[in-house]
Structure 1
Amino acid sequence: MTTELPRLNRDVAPDRRAPVRIVHLGLGAFHRSHQAWFTQHAGDAGEWGIASFTGRRPDAAEVLAAQDGLFTVVERSDSGDTFEVVGSIVEAVDGANVDRLVELVAAPQTAVVTLTITEAAYGFAADDVTLLRAGEKPTTPLGRLVLGLAARRDSDAGSLAVVSCDNLSDNGNVARRAVADLARGVDAGLADWIDTSVSFVSTSVDRITPRTTPEDVALVSERCRYRDAAPVVAEPFRNWVLSGDFPAGRPRWEDAGAVFVDHIEPYENRKLWLLNGAHSILAYAGQLRGHTTVAEALADPVCLQAVEEFWDEASRHLDGDGLGIPEYRAALLDRFGNSRIAHHLAQIATDASTKLRMRAIPVLRAEREAGRSGEAAARMIAVWASFVGANPGLQDPQSDAVAEANNLAGGERIASLLALLDAELALEPAIVKLVEDLSAGFERAEVPARATASGTAA
């Protein structure tokens, strides 16, 4: 008779619950492998519990709540797997529970609000202004945060820090502007209070965290002898660079390897252009050439060459002491080539019109201003254009506009797609022609024989 394994909870893995002092919006795998992991490993972790709220769906909160917030981080490399129970999330809450979010944001002991709400969520939400003015509950993460900050002001709970952990250049100021615009639309006094009482911290975050599979869940049961319905798989590498003030305090994240700097822009650009830019190239070029994961696409010489050439362009515009660009590039090749991290290209490919605006456009503009063609940056846009032509249903915040562009042909179609990224560049015939020519080249590309993990043709 087989004995059923116990469910992971604080009876199976005792872990003292820390008081909630961090509120997180965007409970997902990356938050758990990154910010929650760093908080677990802070020297004063016992003082800093996280209440994490889901975004669109309640599922993650329901599963984690049944496990007392505990989950397993599986660090996966070519040399094997390691397993660690993380207990820094002490409340997992459905994001629709706005009352609990407001209560916690307004609580005096809350010192930090962190965000992983995706790049697309920082746009202005006029509907939330209407709802907030009417005294109703907003529906977006930032609308809910503004409601919480209003309650904090009214309760005189003092200052706090908002920390954006999304892949946006200058993400702290992007969050500041988005929150201020919402608040100003509701109450100018609230906007003024936020301006003087809330610090917005910019960050660069980095840890490859692919989607968890049923096989991963089964592996944790087999190796750890408990049932964890919500493990996360991540590479061993992790990086967190932060810049800004924490007026009400923060965990000692530096004990876990976080770095605090005065000027974050060089680190943001290094990550956005080299890591995320390469991911975008691989996501579209790789799928066009028949690959499904980052490791598979990187093993394709055509995809690898596209990445290397883009890195050459981007590296010319990365200035700053201590960035170590050659070492960073070499490390990325090792990380991307980790064959046991099944980082699926389809997972990376979504929301392209937001992502490429930050990954391709700055490099393309910088290269053109320097008198060069910017061909490698243009190729990133070109492979996206080819991919959405063949896959019109790709998730994107401007999906209707992408569909309209796909009804056009030739240079007119390319110009319409390019306008979604940069309206000025879309008016330059030379750039439109360059992207069109590069796009046609990938549309004609032959799919190579796929390599297996052993390196033989499959």
Structure 2
Amino acid sequence: MNQPLNRSTHAEAKTPPVRLVHLGLGAFHRAHQVFLTRQAEQESANPEFGYASFTGRSAGAALELQPQDGLYTLVTRSGDGDECQVIDTLVEAQPADNVERLVELLASPEVCVVTMTITEAGYYLADGFQLDTDNETVAADIELLRQGLEGTPQAQTAAGKLLVGLAHRRAAGLSGLAVMSCDNIAANGATTRAAVLGLAREVDAELAQWIENNVTFPSSSIDRITPATTDELKNEVAEMTGYHDNSPVVTEPFFSWVIEGEFPAGRPEWERAGVEFVDDIEQFENRKLWLLNGSHSLMAYFGQLRGHTTVAEAINDEEVRARVEDLWDEAAAHLTRPELNVPEYRTALIERFTNPRIRHNLAQIAIDGATKQRMRAAAILKAERSAGRSGEAAAFSIASWIAFAQQALQQDQELKDSRADEVTEALSAENPVPAMLALLDSELAQDAEVIDAITNQLKEL
């Protein structure tokens, strides 16, 4: 019988001090930031950086990991086999509503960095990096926090929770720290800054000024395919390790983390683990968003329309593969810096996509298309239109998304999108193509050639 996995049963596990805080505890965070922080330690036997990580909406991940003292098995899966490693860097797994503990940590001189994976919707920004104060959740946080930041008011947004913690850090007379987004969105540092400072200015002008002077918001580009955990994986881990793990993580061998920005309170030596620090991250962000994420979204919609369920199945379909290559050709025209190594990156992506032992479900990737396609296909299409070209391949990705959403509604299937109401309304419009484009970009929604191209592509689909 397998023994439970925790720090008493796994004698080799070390317990580092909590110096990092994360919002958005999930499988990707554990396969990426937590893993690379462990890899960056100078002395493996005496780790110096531990994570306290808080869940998003659901407390499920924290409830699974707490009995394990934060330990979990990371399974790195390649065509040659599996490699299992118990990760001991996650010291605390906390539910999202434990704002009291979050505040306590942010007011600690030991904590130097906050990282985040809360998805684009979690920043609550309108156009132009402006806080969406009309949003009900944001408005509720503003009303709550205006009553005072003392104690631990239960803010709902990530920015609201950070604001409470930063207010306590300031009150304790501590210096600032770094708040770094690890979400798949362009300019994620500027996005995070806009969300936190936007809320601070609505609540407390003096605190907003302190944040502006003392807190940094580095940008990052992150990459590692991490499928959802399944019961099958749990059983395989038990057989391979002899431990019963409630929450193992499976991932691919490849990883990438590119960072731009300053860390005023210090940070792990992530470069020891292969993390790149650059002066200008924009094209690195776009390489990831347009080549990896862009092709993922194309495969998620077009691949499912053709009956596929995984990335590996889709990329081995000659028609899907050709559409992916066309999209990459358009994107590559705007990724011109030599250090991006775009041809090698494309070759590596094909190898990753065809890994037969990483089951990356297209249905999982397809979630939240109305948000994801803004930064993926729509961004490529806008770049192509600005260059005087048609952007046909990017337009096809958008057409596939529209066709996929239409099919879901016609078949009375749940539309898994945080903007599902907006998508449903757009699809019911007299002309759904410009209505759907308006969800992605107002300029594209006014481009008659783009509308005609997508309308014709929909007929083909």
Normalising by structure 1, we get a TM-score of 0.94
What SS class does the counterpart of residue 391 from structure 1 fall into? helix
Equivalent position of 2:27 in the other structure: 29
Equivalent position of 1:128 in the other structure: 141
Residue 211 of structure 1 and its aligned partner are, at CA, apart by 0.4
- Distance, in Å, in 1 between the alignment partners of 2:386 and 2:2 is 62
Asked if the contact 1:70–1:86 (Cα under 8 Å) also holds between the matched residues in 2, the reply is yes
Asked if the contact 1:386–1:440 (Cα under 8 Å) also holds between the matched residues in 2, the reply is no
Asked if the contact 2:41–2:48 (Cα under 8 Å) also holds between the matched residues in 1, the reply is no
1:429 to 448, 453, 456: 448
What SS class does the counterpart of residue 221 from structure 2 fall into? strand
- Distance, in Å, in 1 between the alignment partners of 2:123 and 2:416 is 17
Percent identity at matched positions? 53
Equivalent position of 2:187 in the other structure: 170
Deviations 1:162-199 (A, max 9, x none): 11100010111110011110111101111111101101
Asked if the contact 1:116–1:165 (Cα under 8 Å) also holds between the matched residues in 2, the reply is yes
Deviations 1:93-120 (A, max 9, x none): 1111111111111111110000011111
Equivalent position of 2:162 in the other structure: 145
1:267 to 280, 284, 298: 284
Asked if the contact 2:97–2:154 (Cα under 8 Å) also holds between the matched residues in 1, the reply is no
> How do 1:178-197 and structure 2 match up within 5 A?
178-197=195-214
Deviations 1:312-354 (A, max 9, x none): 0000000223111000000000000111111001111111111
Equivalent position of 1:405 in the other structure: 426
- Distance, in Å, in 2 between the alignment partners of 1:376 and 1:168 is 21
Query: Given residue 61 of structure 2, which amino acid in structure 1 is its aligned partner?
Result: A
- Distance, in Å, in 2 between the alignment partners of 1:98 and 1:413 is 42
What SS class does the counterpart of residue 182 from structure 1 fall into? helix
Equivalent position of 2:129 in the other structure: none
Pairing 1:339–2:356 present: yes
Query: Given residue 81 of structure 2, which amino acid in structure 1 is its aligned partner?
Result: G
The CA RMSD over aligned residues, in Å, is 1.1
Equivalent position of 1:284 in the other structure: 301
Pairing 1:246–2:263 present: yes
Query: Given residue 211 of structure 2, which amino acid in structure 1 is its aligned partner?
Result: I
Aligned residues: 437
Asked if the contact 1:17–1:49 (Cα under 8 Å) also holds between the matched residues in 2, the reply is yes
- Distance, in Å, in 1 between the alignment partners of 2:204 and 2:86 is 43
Asked if the contact 2:177–2:214 (Cα under 8 Å) also holds between the matched residues in 1, the reply is yes
Query: Given residue 308 of structure 1, which amino acid in structure 2 is its aligned partner?
Result: E
Structure 1 gap ranges (5+) = 443-458
What SS class does the counterpart of residue 47 from structure 1 fall into? coil
Structure 2 gap ranges (5+) = 125-131, 133-137
Residue 398 of structure 1 and its aligned partner are, at CA, apart by 2.0
- Distance, in Å, in 1 between the alignment partners of 2:76 and 2:363 is 22
Equivalent position of 2:95 in the other structure: 94
What SS class does the counterpart of residue 339 from structure 2 fall into? coil
Residue 223 of structure 1 and its aligned partner are, at CA, apart by 0.8
What SS class does the counterpart of residue 21 from structure 1 fall into? strand
What SS class does the counterpart of residue 258 from structure 2 fall into? strand
Asked if the contact 2:224–2:254 (Cα under 8 Å) also holds between the matched residues in 1, the reply is yes
Runs of 4+ in structure 1 displaced over 4 angstroms?
none
Asked if the contact 1:120–1:351 (Cα under 8 Å) also holds between the matched residues in 2, the reply is no
Residue 367 of structure 1 and its aligned partner are, at CA, apart by 1.1
